[in-house]
């Protein structure tokens, strides 16, 4: 089973600042990586798949990058509504696994 | 866009079997894959397993001995059964759809909290 490690655990940013979240996999997964946003009491929402492809309707301030074992989710100019927990997930092999999450505080 | 809605008991006793239903609306089940994913309180997400409309399944090895997923395409529903419950099975359970067997998870139900307690 591939282990997903996300950092930081919590990131505090001010509106308009840049936020960078990291996801590391215990073995290479190519570009088979997705990112999700989860707000309190809600289901996760797909943001990025294929490491860098934005889901339909996703604001351009969200960018995914990376390959192999190192991936990054960047929010270029954080807005108040971006306060949430962000999870990465690989789908390279079974079972698919998720990271522990990174929380963005505004 | 397809909509999903979980239903089932909110409280189940230890050692009993959990049965959940996911009702799909706004689309046909005769395409795509249908998964169950759970999230213990304050913890990360865990994929439980999926079913294809044809009935083929794939389960997380950590749960394989206790889980069964089935589908009834005529009712636009799929189901989760998880037996031999313990407190560690307390979680929000989500039903999810995805385009590829191994892929990203496109659409999620709102989730249902299941508590295992006597």
- Assess whether pLDDT exceeds 90 at residue B100: no
A84-90 and A97-98 as β-strands: parallel, antiparallel, unpaired? antiparallel
How far apart, in whole angstroms, are the C-alpha atoms of residue A54 and residue A57? 8
Arithmetic mean of pLDDT, B72-94: 96
- Contact B9/B114 with Cβ under 8 angstroms? yes
For the record, the structure tokens of B2 come out as 């397809």
- The reported pLDDT for the residue numbered B50 is 96
How far apart, in whole angstroms, are the C-alpha atoms of residue B59 and residue B54? 16
B-chain residue closest to A92, CA distance? B102
For B32: left if phi > 0, alpha if psi spans -120 to 50, otherwise beta; the answer is: left
Give A98: exposed, middle or buried? Use CB within 10 Å, 0-12, 13-18, 19+.
buried
Which residues from chain B sit within 8 angstroms of residue A43, using beta carbons? 94, 108-111
- Contact B46/B38 with Cβ under 8 angstroms? yes
Averaged pLDDT of chain B: 94
* pLDDT tens digits for range B13-34: 999 999 999 999 998 888 789 9
A vs B, Cβ pairs < 8 A, gives 53
- Assess whether pLDDT exceeds 90 at residue B1: no
Residues within 8 A of A (CB atoms), B 40-79 only: 43-47, 58, 60-62
Q: Which of A6, A9, A21 shows the shortest CA–CA distance to A76?
A: A21
- Using CA atoms in the order A72, A75, A81, A87, what is the torsion angle rounded to 10 degrees? 0
* pLDDT tens digits for range A34-67: 999 999 999 999 999 999 999 999 999 999 999 9
Would an 8 Å CB–CB cutoff place B102 in contact with chain A? yes
Instruction: pLDDT band for B79, please (50, 70, 90 cuts).
Output: very high
- The reported pLDDT for the residue numbered B21 is 98
Instruction: pLDDT band for A3, please (50, 70, 90 cuts).
Output: very high
Kindly determine whether residue B62 and residue A95, on different chains, have CB atoms separated by under 8 Å: yes
Which residues from chain B sit within 8 angstroms of residue A1, using beta carbons? 61
How far is the CA of A14 from the CAs of A48, A58, A102, B87, in angstroms?
23, 21, 16, 39
- Assess whether pLDDT exceeds 90 at residue B112: yes
How far is the CA of B115 from the CAs of A65, B16, B92, in angstroms?
38, 12, 9
- Contact B63/B38 with Cβ under 8 angstroms? no
- Assess whether pLDDT exceeds 90 at residue B99: no
Beta bridge partners of B74: none
- The reported pLDDT for the residue numbered B29 is 86
Of B44, B103, B111, the CB nearest to A91: B103
- Assess whether pLDDT exceeds 90 at residue B6: yes
Would an 8 Å CB–CB cutoff place A18 in contact with chain B? no
- The reported pLDDT for the residue numbered B48 is 97
Give B86: exposed, middle or buried? Use CB within 10 Å, 0-12, 13-18, 19+.
exposed
């Amino acid at each position: 089973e591939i282990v997903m490690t996300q950092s930081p655990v919590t990131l505090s940013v001010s509106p308009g600042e840049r936020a960078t979240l990291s996801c590391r996999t215990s073995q290479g997964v190519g570009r088979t990586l997705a990112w999700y946003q989860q707000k309190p009491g809600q289901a996760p929402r797909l943001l990025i798949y294929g490491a860098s492809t934005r889901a339909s309707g996703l604001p351009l301030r969200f960018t995914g990058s990376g390959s192999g074992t190192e991936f990054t989710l960047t929010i270029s100019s954080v807005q108040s509504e971006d306060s949430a927990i962000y999870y990465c997930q690989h789908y390279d092999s079974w079972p698919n696994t998720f990271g522990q999450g990174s929380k963005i505080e505004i | 866009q397809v909509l999903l809605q979980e239903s089932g008991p909110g409280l189940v006793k230890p050692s009993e079997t959990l049965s959940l239903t996911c009702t799909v609306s706004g689309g046909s089940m005769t395409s795509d894959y249908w998964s169950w994913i759970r999230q213990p309180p304050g913890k990360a997400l865990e994929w439980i397993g999926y079913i294809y409309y044809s009935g083929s399944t794939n389960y997380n090895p950590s749960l394989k001995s206790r889980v069964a997923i089935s589908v009834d395409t005529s009712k636009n529903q799929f189901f989760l059964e998880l037996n031999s419950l313990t407190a560690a099975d307390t979680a929000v359970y989500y039903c999810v759809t995805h385009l590829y067997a191994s892929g990203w998870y496109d659409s999620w139900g709102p989730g249902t909290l299941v508590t295992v307690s006597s």
